[in-house]
């Protein structure tokens, strides 16, 4: 972790120096293409996040001030805040690309004529198979420390909840935006959270990905089977509605009345 943090600090400093002195590229026209500018920003963003996480893991989230992170990364404090408006975002940057992901999966599924829940089940299973960190799994040795940091810091848990709320809203819109869609989206996002938290708990406790994966895949299938059947009072014994097709046909969700 120390070597990774040192590399991140060097990378961030280099990226900012490039940003100050090299905004115009070395091409014939003397300008960066938009793609290169975005790549440079992404390198800086990742280096800042890597630096911050290394310090947080070593000393604790609350014990490390933003000014120290900026200094360690070789950037100014205003530059850091341009990339990350809140200290918590330095950690949750790793989840930013996944915000709204269920909605994107559902939108693609509808275009392909695949039931939304089946598409989401396949998507989550694929994430578990490739050890996508968003599923709570990860082969990198620093993953357990990162998960302990994430779930052991109240401010980060609260920020993660805000991410999940926005993901729930976008999923409800993809499902149809009616009351039934909102209820279904809330259940789906809650299931995804619990699945990831359970995997993360076991990783943080020292279990290997290979040991967890079969259980994780079985848990995905069982969870989505319960969603298809309706959760009832939460035990999974009684369906919310007698028509389980409501969890596979988004056009009905949009018109479902409040229970």
Mean pLDDT of 155-163: 87
Judge whether residue 115 has pLDDT over 50.
yes
d(CA 183, CA 86): 30
pLDDT class for 73, splitting at 50, 70, 90? very high
Nearest to 178 by CA among 95, 79, 254: 254
Tracing tokens 């809140």 back to the chain, one arrives at 86
Mean pLDDT of 186-193: 92
Side-chain-facing half-sphere of 31: CA atoms under 13 Å: 3
Per-residue model confidence (pLDDT) at position 34: 57
- Please report the sign of the dihedral spanned by the C-alpha atoms of residue 113, residue 118, residue 123, residue 129: negative
């Amino acid at each position: 972790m120390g070597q990774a943090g040192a590399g991140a600090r060097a990378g961030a400093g280099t990226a900012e120096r490039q940003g100050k002195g090299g905004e115009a590229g070395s091409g014939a026209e003397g300008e960066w293409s938009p793609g290169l500018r975005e790549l440079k920003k992404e390198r800086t963003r990742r280096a800042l996040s890597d630096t911050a996480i290394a310090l947080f893991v070593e000393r604790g989230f609350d014990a490390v001030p933003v000014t120290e992170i900026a200094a360690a990364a070789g950037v100014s404090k205003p530059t850091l805040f341009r990339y990350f408006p809140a200290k918590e975002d330095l950690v949750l940057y790793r989840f930013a690309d996944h915000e709204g992901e269920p909605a994107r999966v559902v939108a693609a599924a509808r275009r392909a004529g695949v039931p939304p829940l089946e598409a989401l089940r396949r998507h989550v299973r694929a994430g578990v198979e490739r050890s996508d960190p968003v599923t709570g799994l990860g082969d990198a040795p620093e993953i357990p420390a990162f998960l302990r940091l994430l779930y052991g810091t109240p401010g980060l848990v609260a920020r993660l909840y805000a991410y999940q709320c926005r993901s729930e809203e976008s999923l409800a819109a993809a499902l149809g935006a009616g009351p039934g869609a909102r209820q279904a989206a809330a259940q789906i996002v809650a299931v995804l959270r619990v699945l990831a938290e359970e995997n993360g708990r076991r990783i943080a406790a020292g279990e290997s990905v290979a040991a967890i994966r079969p259980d994780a895949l079985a848990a995905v299938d069982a969870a989505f089977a319960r969603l298809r059947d309706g959760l009832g009072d939460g035990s999974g014994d009684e369906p919310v509605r007698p028509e389980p097709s409501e969890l596979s046909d988004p056009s009905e969700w949009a018109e479902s009345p409040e229970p």
